[in-house]
Structure 1
C-alpha cells in the first residue's frame, strides 16, 4: 500500500495544483497588459519576495551550492518560469483558459514518459492505463474547446495553441530537471531551493523588464498600474513561493513518474477557476474529462503500489531462500 510519505506528497501536489491553477486566470484579469509585462512583473515580485525570505538562511545555504548548481538554477528559472509564463499568458489571451489548460494537461503524460527510466519508476506497461485515461480526458476537453475559438479568429487560436505547446515543452524540461536537482542536493531544503529559483528568476526578470516596461510601456492609468502590481505580487506569493515550495516537497516524497501524474491537479483547478470566471457549470464532456483525468491519477498511484508490493515480496523471498541455505535441516 502507499506509504505515509506518498500520501503527504499527493496532498502537497494537490495544494500546489490549486495555487498554480490561478496563473491561468491572471492573463484574463489583466488583458490590457502584454504577456511580456505579466511575466516580468510576476517574476520581479517573486525574486524580491524570495530574496527577503532567503536572507536569514543565505550564509548557511550559499556554501552548499557549486557552479553546476547555479547553472542548473539559471536554466530551470528560465525554462520553468520566464519562458513558460510568456507562452502561457499568450496562449490564454489568444486561445482561452480551457484550450490552454487542455494542452498543459498533457504534462502528466510528458513528465511521466520523461521519467520512466528513473529510480522507483513504475514500468511503462503499468503506466499505460493511466496515460490512456489522461489522454482520453484531454480529448474530451479538446472536442469542445477547440471546435469553436472563444477568442478572436481561428488564426489567433492556432497561435495560442502553439504557445500552449511551448509552455508544455518548457515546463516538462523544468519538472524533470527540478526533480533530479532536488534528488542530488540532499543538503538544500525544498523550500530553500524554491527561493533560490525565485532569486535567480528575479534577476532574469530584470533583463526582461527593459523591453516589457521601458520600450513598450503602454498607456495605463495609475490605478491600473497599482491593480497590476497588486495582482502580480499576489500571484508571485501564492503560485511561485507557496506553490513551488509545496511542489518541491512533493518531488522529494514521490517518484518522478508519480509526480508527473500529480500535475493533473493544476489542470483540474485551472478548469474550475475558468468555469467560475465564465459563470457557468461544466458541460457533460467537461465532467467526463475531469473524471477521466482523476481516474488516470488513481491508476498511476495503483501502478506504484503494485510495484512496491512486488519489490517487498521479492525481498522476502530472497531472505527466506538465504535462510534455508544457512539452516539446511
Structure 2
C-alpha cells in the first residue's frame, strides 16, 4: 500500500465525513416530521436520483449481478440506509445531536476491532494507541455533552434516544464491514456503480415504509413545512447518499478495513462542526480537545499501516 494510495483514501474519507455529517442536522431541520417520514422521503429521493444516474449503464451491469449480489444489495440497503437512519433520526430528535454523534463516534472502534481479525490486517496491538486516542476524544465529547443532552430532553426520551443511537451503531457497523468485503470481491462493478445500485434498491425498499408514513402516520402540515421537508430530503439524498456513499466506496477500495474504521471519525467531527454552526457558538475547550485527539487518532492509524507496509506486511 503506497503513501499516495493512503492519502487518496484519507481524502475520500474526509469528503465522506463532510457529506454524512449532514444527516445529523436533517432531523433538527425537520422536527415537524417523524423519523419514519424523514427516512422515507430521503431514500425515495435517493432512489430516484440513483435510478436516473445508473440507467445508462444498467444494461451493461445486469450480467454481473447474480442472486448473491442482489441479496447483498438488499441487506446492505436495509442495514446501512433504512434501518440505520430511522434509528439515527429518532436518536437525534429524542436525545439531541451531541449524544447521537457521541454514540456513533464509537463506529471507528467497532469497525477497526472487527477488521483487525481479517487476514493480513494490522494487529490490534499496533492499533491500540490510535484507538486509545479515539476513545479519549469521545470521552471528552461525552463529558461536555451528556449533561446538556439530559437537560434538554425528558428522562424517558433520553433513554429511548440512547438505545436508538446504539441500534444505529450496530446497524451501520454491520453494514460497513459487509460492504467493504463485498467491494473487495467485485471486479466488474465500480465503487460508484455499487453505490448507485444500493441507492436504487434502497429507494425500492423505502416504498414499504413510505406508504404508511405518508398515509396512516401523516398529520396536517403547512405548505412551508412541506417545502422545507422536500428540500431537506433532496439535499441529504444528493450530498449524503449519492456523493457521500460514492466517496465512501472509493475510500473502501483504497484502504484496508482497519483503516476504514478510522475514517468514520471524520463524520463525528463534521457532525459536531455542523452542530456548532446550528447553535451559533464556538467549540468549548473539551470539544476542541476532542477534535485534536480524534485527528491524532487517525494520524497514528496511518502511521501504523505505513510501518506494516514498510515491513512487507500487506
Check whether TM > 0.5.
Answer: yes
Contact 1:119 1:255 in 2 (8 A): no
Q: How much has 1:154 moved relative to structure 2? A: 2.1
Q: How much has 1:296 moved relative to structure 2? A: 0.8
Deviates more, 1:109-118 or 1:172-181: 109-118
Contact 1:101 1:270 in 2 (8 A): yes
Aligned partner of residue 225 in structure 2, secondary structure: helix
Q: How much has 1:95 moved relative to structure 2? A: 1.0
What are the within-5 Å matches in structure 2 for residues 32-111 of structure 1? 32-111=32-111
> What is the CA deviation profile of residues 74-129 of structure 1, one whole-angstrom value per residue up to 9, with x for unaligned ones?
00000000010001001111111111111111111000011112244211100111
Q: Counterparts of 1:61 and 1:153 in 2: how far apart (Å)? A: 50
Contact 1:16 1:246 in 2 (8 A): yes
Query: Where does residue 29 of structure 2 map in the other structure?
Result: 29
What are the within-5 Å matches in structure 2 for residues 177-196 of structure 1? 177-196=178-197
Query: Where does residue 207 of structure 1 map in the other structure?
Result: 208
Q: Counterparts of 1:82 and 1:299 in 2: how far apart (Å)? A: 33
Structure 1-normalised TM-score?
0.93
Structure 2-normalised TM-score?
0.97
Q: Is 2:249 the partner of 1:248?
A: yes
Q: Counterparts of 1:61 and 1:262 in 2: how far apart (Å)? A: 29
Q: Counterparts of 2:147 and 2:235 in 1: how far apart (Å)? A: 34
Contact 2:6 2:302 in 1 (8 A): no
Q: Is 2:24 the partner of 1:12?
A: no
What are the within-5 Å matches in structure 2 for residues 113-262 of structure 1? 113-148=113-148, 149-262=150-263
Q: How much has 1:304 moved relative to structure 2? A: 0.5
Contact 1:25 1:273 in 2 (8 A): yes
Query: Where does residue 3 of structure 1 map in the other structure?
Result: 3
Contact 1:84 1:167 in 2 (8 A): yes
Q: Counterparts of 1:91 and 1:256 in 2: how far apart (Å)? A: 27
Q: How much has 1:222 moved relative to structure 2? A: 2.1
Q: Counterparts of 1:292 and 1:58 in 2: how far apart (Å)? A: 44
Moved over 3 A (4+): none
Structure 1's 254 and 120: CA in aligned 2 closer, same or farther, altered over 3 A? farther
Aligned partner of residue 221 in structure 2, secondary structure: coil
Aligned partner of residue 147 in structure 1, secondary structure: helix
Deviates more, 1:271-280 or 1:224-233: 224-233
Query: Where does residue 112 of structure 1 map in the other structure?
Result: 112
Q: Counterparts of 2:38 and 2:151 in 1: how far apart (Å)? A: 21
Q: How much has 1:2 moved relative to structure 2? A: 4.7
Aligned partner of residue 214 in structure 2, secondary structure: helix
Number of aligned positions between the proteins:
313
Contact 1:120 1:255 in 2 (8 A): no
Aligned partner of residue 146 in structure 1, secondary structure: helix
Q: Counterparts of 2:133 and 2:2 in 1: how far apart (Å)? A: 21
Q: Counterparts of 2:118 and 2:220 in 1: how far apart (Å)? A: 50
Choose 1 or 2 for highest CA Rg. 1
| RMSD (Å) for aligned C-alpha atoms | 1.3
Q: Counterparts of 2:151 and 2:183 in 1: how far apart (Å)? A: 40
Q: Counterparts of 1:271 and 1:86 in 2: how far apart (Å)? A: 20
Contact 1:14 1:265 in 2 (8 A): yes
Q: Counterparts of 1:150 and 1:2 in 2: how far apart (Å)? A: 48
